Amino acid sequence: MLISPLKKTASGKILLLNIFIVFVAGLALSLIVFNTVNEQKRSVLVHRAESVSATIDSSLFLNLSAEESDANKIEYKKLKSIFKSVAGVNPDVRFVYAFGKSDDGKIYFYADSEDPSSKDFSPPGQEYPEASDVLVSTFESGKSAIEGPVTDRWGTWISAISPLEIKTNKVNVNASSSVKSAEEYVKTVVIGMDIEAKSYLADIIAYSVAPIGVSLIIILFLYFNFRTRRKNDEITATKLSFVELASHELRSPLAGIRWALESLLSPISMLQTDTDKSFAVKNEKKLLSDIYDRSNAMMTTINNVTDVIALESGIARKFDLVSLDLRNVLSEAISKVKAEAEKKLVIIEENLPSPNEVIIEGDLDHLSRAYSEIIINAITYSKPGDKVYIKCEAHNQFVIVDIIDNGIGIHPEIVSAAGKKFTIFHRSSSYKVGGTGLGIYLAQKIFEMHGGKISFSSGKGQGTVVHTRLPVIRRN
């Protein structure tokens, strides 16, 4: 009994659907978190810029002309001190500065937070040609704004800007009358602060990865849970297969042996007719032969089961690895199944390498057992008069031995399961065979332990080719 490939495919599709849903949900939540955190951080940054703008005494700018001479003025030094303090208590802030705008639309620096010795220092009056439309429009709108990432000569930034209005009196002189008049004049200075875009985005991403991270954890849980459940299903199926096959392969021979023994032990005098008495006498040898055959079948079943347990648990005797002539290994395997082939009228045609032509390293008993299991399987699924071919193809580093039959072939649904425990290649009402489904599994394990492998090519009604491959240590 095997878990059908269709069931595996269906459960696999459900798993993929669940993974897709969880991943999309995690991605969507991450995007929501990204946008939410981004909006919050931008709002906070604008508020910080506005707070700086609110703490600055606008009168400091009245005596500043945005020229290099400002560097010696007390107002300029106070602005520098404020900007340095703001940058100092805000580790994420790289620059704090004040921009002005000339009548011809040019943007220039009043002051910044950099030390005059810094390569990033901008002296009073230095133009800022990289000014964006958002920055320029702030002078006109009088509203705070945030932009970025934007790139200038100093790097890439997220910039928060807040306007500061400066009110002063502008004196107008009438030339004809020499009359002086004063009118209130308002000019705008923009206070800004820059945060490195890289660190800003890194902070947002750090928050955003949490949902996708949780979704990945859920996906891993779903995947490993799926694997565990599938493994448990396979174990359960294997146990059921073992019970089913053991029940059939042990109970049936035992029932036959019991019937034969009852027939042999029944006193002839108790038989009612002369015909029954004559049949009992004549068939004693046949009944004994039947008991012998059924006992052998039971012994084979028990041996296969115990050998599998020994190999899988590591308690099997260690392989006696020696140099072996492949011809001798195959000859030994053929001799073990010759009687069964003759009994079923199946002809074995062999194309073996010459003596000492191909030398391999291995355990003679185990390798001959592995080959005999494959050959007996080919015989079992062949019809009387069929041929089983054994062909060798030696290469410098490996040798391929193919065991070919023209039997009923392997059903397409279980080709992929060939070589797994309890796999019966074909069971139908028209063609029934016994066996535990452990022979080829044992053979495959033995080949793997010798650094080799087994593969299958077959089709229903097309016969089967079992390809075996082993490393070669010497060719003569």
Instruction: List the one residue out of 411, 16, 417, 456 whose CA is nearest residue 234.
Output: 417
Q: For the CA atoms of 65, 71, 72, 78, what is the dihedral angle to 10 degrees?
A: 90
Look at residue 191 and tell me whether its pLDDT is greater than 70: yes
Cα–Cα distance, 350 to 311 (Å, whole number): 30
| pLDDT greater at residue 274 or residue 20 | 20
pLDDT value of position 429:
40
Task: For residue range 111-152, list pLDDT tens digits in order.
Answer: 999 999 999 999 999 999 999 999 999 998 989 999 989 999
Q: Which amino acid is at 235?
A: I
Helix (H, G, I), strand (E, B) or coil at 13: helix
| Range with lowest mean pLDDT among 149-163, 382-396, 416-430, 462-476 | 416-430
| pLDDT greater at residue 352 or residue 408 | 352
Report all structural domains of the chain as residue ranges with CATH numbers, in order of start: 1-172+183-238 (3.30.450.20), 317-475 (3.30.565.10)
Helix (H, G, I), strand (E, B) or coil at 346: coil
pLDDT value of position 189:
93
Look at residue 383 and tell me whether its pLDDT is greater than 60: yes
Look at residue 351 and tell me whether its pLDDT is greater than 50: yes
Q: Which amino acid is at 371?
A: Y
Across the chain, mean pLDDT equals 81
Task: For residue range 398-426, list pLDDT tens digits in order.
Answer: 999 999 998 877 766 655 555 555 555 54
Residue 413 backbone phi and psi in degrees, to 5: -70, -20
Look at residue 290 and tell me whether its pLDDT is greater than 80: no
pLDDT band at 331 (very low <50, low <70, confident <90, very high): very high
Look at residue 381 and tell me whether its pLDDT is greater than 60: yes
| Range with lowest mean pLDDT among 45-49, 161-165, 320-324, 434-438 | 434-438
pLDDT value of position 109:
95
Cβ atoms of 31 and 130 within 8 Å: the answer is no
pLDDT value of position 3:
42
Vertex 65 angle, CA 153 and 86, to 5°: 55
